[in-house]
Amino acid sequence: MRILYGVAGEGYGHSSRALVIADYLQKQGHEVVILTYGQAYKVLKNKFKTFKVRGLHLFFEKSVLSMKKTIFNNLRHFTKNFLRWKKFYKLMQDFKPELCISDMEPIVPILRNWYKLPLICIDNQHRITNLDIEVPKKYYQDYLVAKSVVDSFVKKADYFLVLSFANVKINKKNTIIIPPLIREEVKKIKNKVKYENKILIYLTKKDSSILDELKNIRENFVVYGYDKKGKQENIGFKTKESFLQDLKDCKAIIATAGFTLMSEAIFLKKPYLALPLQGQFEQTLNALFLKKAGFGDYTENLTEKEIVYFLHKAEAYKKNLQTYKPDYNKLFRVLDKILKGFERYSRN
């Protein structure tokens, strides 16, 4: 089949997922064109046929999501996209897609409606709309905002393949829960995992207050996100080329609450202390699921006391992680079945 695949460009989680899925689809004989922007475009452009658009981005002020800036800037970019309607028309006429996939990218679902094509959603964001989740009162406003955003991207699809490490009740038809997708390079280190005397710290924004808390603890910390190398007392700074090695060897992880890294930590059975970004409910949800599953904990204000308590419970989290044994190939089996159904329907 000819597949038009829309990939969100914000962060690297969507693009790392698309690398695996698009490669698999092409190996199965399907033809794929990826529509994307931003960081994902840089990752995917040299590996697949790629169509670049103006994307949607999140804007933060002092590590807190700014809804005003996010809405204003994205409306402007979204309008500019459709001033280029002739390029979209040419894409659809030249490629003639038979099926669309969206990973939290809103333009492909619009093209799907215009051309009356089937649509599959593959993402973790639709946990917010398609699963029965328990939302603490203090996060409810953020939840409502996130729910409206996810619905505005894709409210209707032929199938929702929702990535989740939590087993939650489904509340929307044609929804299938899929275990997280793991990169091949992470799968390759699974049998080499160690628990050495170091704790991996991954931050997307520099925060000196966190470093001050680490200095007071009798542990060795390896910190990523500062784009430098060196050592200060019990803190070593590293750059991304050694990240997989430290992910494999660390005894625990303290990091932002992104879905991809959290999923890889769970796959490698590493206890995780999550630091969700304020106002970004998707990260809050990841943290809530993590704690409920017993694989780690989360905090919105990291302190020495919380770090020590987390490390004290690390063995219990590690024990819980050993019991989590999902079928990490489920996505490919489900995709094959769905695509074969669409192919039979198309032939008839």
User: Does 69 have pLDDT greater than 60?
Assistant: no
Q: If residue 259 lies in a helix (H) or strand (E), which one and from where to where?
A: helix 259-267
pTM check: above 0.85: yes
pLDDT in tens, 223-277: 999 888 999 999 999 998 999 999 999 999 999 999 999 999 999 999 999 999 8
User: Does 62 have pLDDT greater than 50?
Assistant: no
Distance in angstroms (rounded) separating the CA atoms of residues 90 and 179: 37
Q: 179: phi > 0 → left, psi -120 to 50 → alpha, else beta; which?
A: beta
Can you give the pLDDT at residue 348? 64
pLDDT in tens, 176-201: 999 999 989 999 999 999 999 999 99
* CA angle at 158 for the pair 49 and 129, rounded to the nearest 5°: 100
User: Does 74 have pLDDT greater than 80?
Assistant: no
Can you give the pLDDT at residue 152? 86
Of 38 and 12, the structure prediction assigns the larger pLDDT to 38
User: Does 65 have pLDDT greater than 50?
Assistant: no
Evaluate the CA torsion angle 187, 282, 71, 106 in order and state its sign: positive
332 confidence band (pLDDT: 50, 70, 90): very high
12 confidence band (pLDDT: 50, 70, 90): confident
In this structure, are residues 132 and 162 in contact, taking their beta carbons and an 8 Å threshold? Answer: no
Domains of the chain: 2-181+328-347 (3.40.50.2000), 185-322 (3.40.50.2000)
* CA angle at 206 for the pair 200 and 209, rounded to the nearest 5°: 85
pLDDT in tens, 90-117: 999 999 999 999 999 989 999 999 999 9
For all residues of the chain together, what is the average pLDDT?
90
78 confidence band (pLDDT: 50, 70, 90): low
What burial letters (b/e) apply to 309-345, b meaning 16+ CB within 10 Å?
A: ebbeebeebbeebeeeeeebeebbebbeebbeebeee
pLDDT in tens, 121-174: 999 999 999 999 999 999 999 999 999 989 988 989 999 999 999 989 999 999
Amino acid at 155: K
pLDDT in tens, 289-321: 999 999 999 999 899 999 999 999 999 999 999
